[in-house]
Amino acid sequence: MGEFINPALVPTVTLPSGEKVPCVGMGTFGSDRVSAEEVSKAVAGALRCGYRMFDCAACYGNEVQIGEVFREAFEEGIVERKDLFIMTKVWNDMHREVEKACRKSIADLQCDYVDLYFIHWPFPNYHAPGCDVDSRNPDSRPFSVEEFMDTYRQCEELVEKGVIRYIGISNMTIPKLEAVLPLMKIKPAACELELHVCFQQQELYDYLVAHNIQPVGYMPLGSPRRPERDICPEDVADLQLPEMKAIADAHGVHPALIALKWAQQRGEISIPFSVHNFASNLKCVTEDPLTEEEMKMISTLEKGNRLVKGQVFLWEGANDWHDLWDEDGVIVK
């Protein structure tokens, strides 16, 4: 048996409800490179090493395999269902059938209910898993408040039915949030967004905190093995920055662990994916914190380096991927 990190020693964040959850969860997207079997094997290892939060999604194509791992862990008494915090997401092609999608994820994950259910993207623009960067769906449309709220209402009903415990949103912008937050009956507990040292999204981060929505940072390590479609020549490799290497040397660890300590000390939940390093990724938040100076130094490494640009979600008539992110402060239609 590998290393065990006592879950009670993992720092927590407090959701708007007052519930405390771990500040690190295991990502489960194989980035079109790691098979469903390998991802589920990593989840099995992570469970036994002390992870209690998992970030899943229907579109990652591995919920059946991960569900087998959960079932085995429950049967072997390694954890009980109530000890886990399972997050998953409705994919863009199921916005009109959220309950069906959610119940399928629950059946696949063999988890009875979902703790936090995200709307993966705020539009129903579907692209097939593993598609290339130039593929476009002719049915794609710009963001619509009405369509989004219809999807969101279905999530609210799932909370009322006890199928999910909390609602999450993902890949949102401040203008979109401004439009939809006042219309919601049940506020979202969390927002999943791209967050890493070269893409800190401070304004959106502060907005979420001010609105009592917990930020969940995806790609916390700058996703060094992300899918080909998300790699551009101008991208910066966060973990190779000399400043990150210098801080890592001072702590005698890999720069990845510095990125995760920074995320935890900033107040996020981070969801690093790992097949080989998941134990050190969880352990690092339980020991040897960064100094205030190191935290300040890392806050200067912002480079506006969005990695998930989202080109495949563009609609006809859109200019380019910047249109997805409402950079001028208004919803681009």
Ligand X SMILES: NC(=O)c1ccc[n+]([C@@H]2O[C@H](COP(=O)([O-])OP(=O)(O)OC[C@H]3O[C@@H](n4cnc5c(N)ncnc54)[C@H](OP(=O)(O)O)[C@@H]3O)[C@@H](O)[C@H]2O)c1
Give me the residues that bind ligand X (CB under 6 A), please: 27-29, 31, 55, 120, 170-171, 192, 218-226, 254, 256-257, 271-277, 280-281, 308
Strands annotated E in 207-294: 214-218, 269-270
Q: Which two tokens stand for residue 300?
A: 């200067």
Burial of 185 (0-12, 13-18, 19+ CB in 10 A): exposed
- Of the pair 160, 302, the CB lying nearest ligand X is at 302
Active site residue 126: no
Q: Assign residue 212 a region (left: φ > 0; alpha: ψ between -120 and 50; beta: otherwise).
A: left
Minimum CB distance to ligand X smaller for 160 or for 176: 176
Backbone torsions φ then ψ of 54, nearest 5 degrees: -135, 135
- What tokens were used for 48? 């036994």
Buried b (16+ CB within 10 A) or exposed e, 77-110: eebeeeebbbbbbbbbbbbeebbebbebbbebbb
Closer to ligand X at the Cβ: 77 or 245? Answer: 245
Which residue's entry shows tokens 């563009």? 314
Q: Using CA atoms, how far apart are residues 4 and 114, in angstroms rounded to an integer?
A: 25
- Give the DSSP letter of residue 263: H
List the structure tokens of 197.
């040292």
Catalytic residue (one of 60, 117, 126, 166): 60
Of residues 160 and 287, the one with the C-beta less far from ligand X: 287
- CA 46 to chain centroid, in Å, comes to 17
Cα–Cα distance measured from residue 42 to residue 241, given in angstroms and rounded to the nearest whole number: 28
Residue among 226 and 309 whose Cβ is closer to ligand X: 226
- Least separation in angstroms between residue 221's CB and ligand X is 3
Cβ 144 to ligand X, closest distance in Å?
19
Least distance in Å: CB of 91 to ligand X? 10
CB of 81 to ligand X, least distance (A): 20
CB of 75 to ligand X, least distance (A): 25
- Minimum gap (Å) between residue 16 Cβ and ligand X: 19
Nearer to ligand X, 163 or 256 (CB): 256
Enumerate the active-site residues.
Answer: 60
